[in-house]
Amino acid sequence: MIRFVSLGPGDPELITVKGLRALQEADVIFCPATALKSAGEKEVSFSSRAAEIVQALGIDPKRISLFHVPMSRDREAARRAYDQLAVEVRRARRKRLEVVVVAEGDAGFYSSIHYLFDKLWADQIEVEQIAGVPAFIAAGAAAGLHIVKQTERLLVIPGTATAYELISEVKEGKVVVIMKLSACQAAVRTCLATHPEFHYYYFEQVGTREERFVTDPTQLIAMSFPYFSLLIIRKPEEQP
Ligand code: SAH
């Protein structure tokens, strides 16, 4: 069995008991890493938030195996990286090692690693996906929000939204969560500028020491949103 463990969004304590047990039982834990180029653009080092979470949970770092995921914009390169990882994962499995592949947040929620899960599944290799806390749920909890209540509807958008879409969905009464906020900065700024009366809950680096929570539209409009940020927008409650 190859287990895909959801790590939660950053706070190591937000993993499930089941996920932690899978990590503890693993012989090898494959963790996604991103490349950091040096000033000369030559030497490359790797950074892995996933590996940091795994180590913070007291797992032996020797069991961690980093794999490089190219920028998400380069889909073909990412696919090749996952194809290569599939080979390594299967090799480890043939040696009868307990294999875990980790994902940040939930492994089935905007998670590119799911491509590997689908590939193994299609090849009839036994895989299991262990649920985890997605970033927007952790963000809501960090700010004490009741994200949706009663008959409200939630819409999750992945950063491809236009300003028009955002505004009309919120006006219709939906609570909108925008993931990958860095990909739709202009649309969000237009929404902020034309509808300062909406309620905005902006979160950055939830569950880490760099966590940031901003609700003021004037402050938000001047900001630039990094990759690890998301925004929840809702209409103000109507007065009875
Ligand atoms: N599988 C993840 C989502 C990965 S997509 C999950 O379940 O949450 C990557 C996007 O998730 C980022 O662009 C950002 O919008 C959001 N995200 C992930 N971790 C985050 C964090 N710690 N703080 C804020 N946003 C985060």
CATH number of the domain bearing residue 221? 3.30.950.10
The DSSP secondary-structure symbol of 105 reads B
Instruction: Find, among 90, 109, 110, the residue nearest to 101 by Cα.
Output: 90
Give the residue from 89, 114, 130 where a domain finishes.
130
Give the residue from 69, 101, 130 where a domain finishes.
130
Instruction: Write down the mean pLDDT value for the chain.
Output: 94
Ligand 1 atom 10, closest CA: 180
- C-alpha distance from residue 35 to each of 30, 75, 118 (Å): 16, 16, 25
| pLDDT category of residue 42 using cuts at 50, 70 and 90 | low
Structure tokens at 230: 């998301």
The kind and range of the H/E element at 44 are strand 44-47
Which ligand 1 atom sits nearest the alpha carbon of residue 207? 22
pLDDT in tens, 86-112: 999 999 999 999 999 999 999 999 999
Amino acid at the residue 80: R
3-state secondary structure of 80: helix
| 90 and 12 co-located in one domain | yes
Whether ligand 1 lies within 6 angstroms of the CB of 69 is answered as: no
pLDDT in tens, 200-229: 999 999 988 999 999 999 999 999 999 999
Residue 202 and residue 180: Cα distance in Å, rounded?
A: 12
Q: Within 10 Å of residue 138's Cβ, how many Cβ atoms?
A: 20
Give the residue from 130, 149, 170 where a domain finishes.
130
Whether ligand 1 lies within 6 angstroms of the CB of 213 is answered as: no
Query: What separation in Å is there between the alpha carbon of 135 and the centre of ligand 1?
Result: 5
Give the residue, out of 116, 180, 211, with the most ligand 1 atoms within 8 A of its beta carbon, to mutate for a pocket test: 180
Whether ligand 1 lies within 6 angstroms of the CB of 6 is answered as: no
Q: What domain range is 61 assigned to?
A: 2-130
State how many domains the chain has: 2
What CATH number should be reported for the domain holding residue 113?
Answer: 3.40.1010.10
Whether ligand 1 lies within 6 angstroms of the CB of 178 is answered as: no
